[in-house]
């Protein structure tokens, strides 16, 4: 039963919708601690984030147990805060992933959860609220212009891309959006330089990560006899961002670099390596038209092989 029995609600207690904070009329039957104004908001929250965190909310929204000592009570409060901090990052990552995939409506409930948990942990006036507000604004706007949060990454102290240096993958998004701005202004040389910079950053990261995995593979075979498992070393949001950025650059390269196929192949090589490490070889087939069709087919075939690095080097030489 999803409906709330109003007579069962303690007098003076206001139960609000998780999405819009309107008076609630429904409750999640799985956790019984999350409320909604109607079916639409309940389904939207479930699709976005609630399904993933439903059971995790129960200890956060129920009365704390009785503790026999102050030490136990402090320990309980610390555990509660740690759970909330975990949910802050988890909800933020999920919302980011949705935005990178263009699913702005799905990102709103997840961003709201991250914001509320930040308020609970850090207070209403903390700078820690800024990333969640920016993410929520970006999800609400839902346009294709250079993102608010990407511009703000350079000014927000916590977790800003300035802390990672100019060659880090977490900084590549800033280069990408600057390139888009120059491209729209028809300053194609500047845009091309920045797109190339983004590709070089991801190429360096993926190749270095692959070398690390190869070394780990040798050690596993020597010590444990286990097979080789690939991974990107990225979370879901970073993977989604990488795919969005690189596929966008690939589309731009295909439309503007017909006389320089090596630039197209360079982006394809990076995408192949990314999909290979994601264990998603089917998406690396890249059926393309035009003069680089044969090269693209070869690049796609590389993704299904056991040693993509070798195939990639052969492509670049050719």
pLDDT for 125 = 73
DSSP letter string over 68-102?
SSHHHHHHHHHHHHHHHHHHHHHHHHHHHHHHHTT
> Domain of 280?
169-317
Residue 27 host element (H or E):
strand 26-27
Inside any domain, residue 1:
no
Most confidently modeled range among 24-28, 72-76, 216-220? 24-28
135 is a domain residue: yes
Same domain, 143 and 198: no
When mean pLDDT is compared across 18-27, 80-89, 252-261, 301-310, the lowest value belongs to: 301-310
pLDDT of the residue at 298: 46
Higher pLDDT, 250 or 187: 250
Question: Exposure of 310 by Cβ count < 10 A (0-12 exposed, 13-18 middle, 19+ buried)?
Answer: exposed
Summarize pLDDT for 204-253 with one digit per residue, the tens: 999 998 888 887 766 555 544 544 455 778 888 888 889 999 999 999 99
Q: What percent of the chain has pLDDT over 90?
A: 25
Q: Based on the domain organization, do 160 and 174 belong to the same domain?
A: no
Q: How many domains does the chain have?
A: 2
Q: Measure the CA–CA gap between 239 and 101, rounded to whole angstroms.
A: 10
Do 160 and 188 share a domain, yes or no? no
**pLDDT for the residue 41:** 93
Q: Which residues are CB-contacts of 175 (< 8 A; sequence separation ≥ 6)?
A: 194, 197, 198, 201
Does residue 70 register a pLDDT over 60? yes
Chain CA centroid to CA 93, Å: 5
| Confidence grade of residue 78 (pLDDT, cut at 50, 70, 90) | confident
Q: How many CA atoms lie within 13 A of 185 on its CB side?
A: 11
Indicate left, alpha or beta for 38 from its phi (over 0: left) and psi (-120 to 50: alpha): beta
**What is the distance between the alpha carbons of residues 65 and 34, in angstroms, rounded to a whole number?**
20
279: left (phi over 0), alpha (psi -120 to 50) or beta: left
Q: Do both 56 and 140 map to the same domain? A: yes
Q: With 90 as the cut, is the pLDDT of residue 124 above it?
A: no
- With cut-offs at 50, 70 and 90, classify the pLDDT of residue 8: low
Radius of gyration of the chain (CA): 24
CA 82 to the chain's CA centroid: 21
Between 148 and 79, residue with greater pLDDT: 79
| Cβ-based neighbours of 306, under 8 Å, separated by 6 or more | none
Among 70-74, 136-140, 190-194, whose mean pLDDT is lowest?
136-140
- 127-184 pLDDT, tens digit per residue, is 788 788 878 777 876 644 444 344 333 333 333 344 456 678 877 887 887 788 778 8
Which of residues 299 and 269 earns the better pLDDT score? 269
Residue 230 has a pLDDT of: 56
* 151 shares its domain with 44: yes
Based on the fold, state whether residues 138 and 92 are members of the same structural domain: yes
| Residue 111 and residue 197 share a domain | no
301 falls within a domain: yes
* 20-29, 67-76, 158-167: the lowest-pLDDT one: 158-167
The average confidence (pLDDT) of the chain is 76
Model confidence over 246-272: pLDDT tens digits?
Answer: 999 999 998 888 788 899 999 999 998
* pLDDT number for residue 218: 60
* Domain annotation covers residue 154: yes
Length in residues, the chain: 318
Same domain? For 129 and 181 the reply is: no
What pTM, to 2 d.p., does this model score? 0.50
Does 181 lie in the same domain as 208? yes
């Amino acid at each position: 039963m999803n409906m709330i029995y109003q007579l069962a609600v303690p007098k003076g207690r206001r139960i609000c919708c998780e999405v819009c904070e309107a008076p609630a009329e429904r409750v999640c039957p799985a956790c019984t601690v999350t409320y909604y104004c109607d079916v639409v908001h309940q389904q939207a929250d479930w699709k976005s984030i609630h399904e993933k965190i439903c059971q995790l909310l129960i200890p956060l929204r129920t009365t704390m147990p009785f503790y026999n000592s102050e030490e136990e009570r402090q320990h309980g409060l610390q555990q509660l805060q740690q759970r909330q901090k975990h949910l802050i990052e988890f909800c933020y990552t999920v919302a980011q992933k949705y935005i990178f995939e263009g699913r702005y409506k799905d990102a709103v409930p997840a961003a709201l959860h991250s914001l509320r948990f930040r308020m609970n942990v850090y207070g209403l006036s903390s700078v820690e609220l800024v990333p969640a507000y920016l993410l929520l604004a970006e999800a609400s706007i839902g346009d294709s212009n250079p993102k608010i949060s990407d511009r703000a990454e350079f000014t927000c102290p916590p977790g800003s891309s300035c802390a990672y240096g100019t060659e880090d993958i977490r900084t590549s998004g800033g280069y990408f959006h600057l390139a888009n701005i120059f491209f729209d202004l028809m300053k194609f040389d500047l845009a091309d330089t920045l797109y190339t910079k983004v590709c070089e950053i991801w190429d360096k990261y993926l190749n270095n990560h692959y070398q690390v995995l190869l070394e780990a593979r040798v050690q596993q075979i020597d010590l444990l006899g286990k097979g080789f498992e690939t991974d990107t070393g990225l979370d879901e949001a970073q993977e989604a961002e990488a795919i969005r950025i690189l596929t966008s650059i690939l589309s731009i390269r295909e439309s503007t670099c017909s006389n320089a196929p090596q630039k197209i192949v360079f982006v394809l090589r990076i995408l192949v390596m990314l999909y290979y490490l994601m264990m998603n070889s089917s998406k690396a087939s890249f059926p393309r038209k035009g003069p680089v069709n044969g090269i693209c087919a070869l690049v796609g075939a590389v993704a299904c092989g056991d040693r993509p690095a070798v195939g990639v080097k052969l492509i670049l030489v050719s």
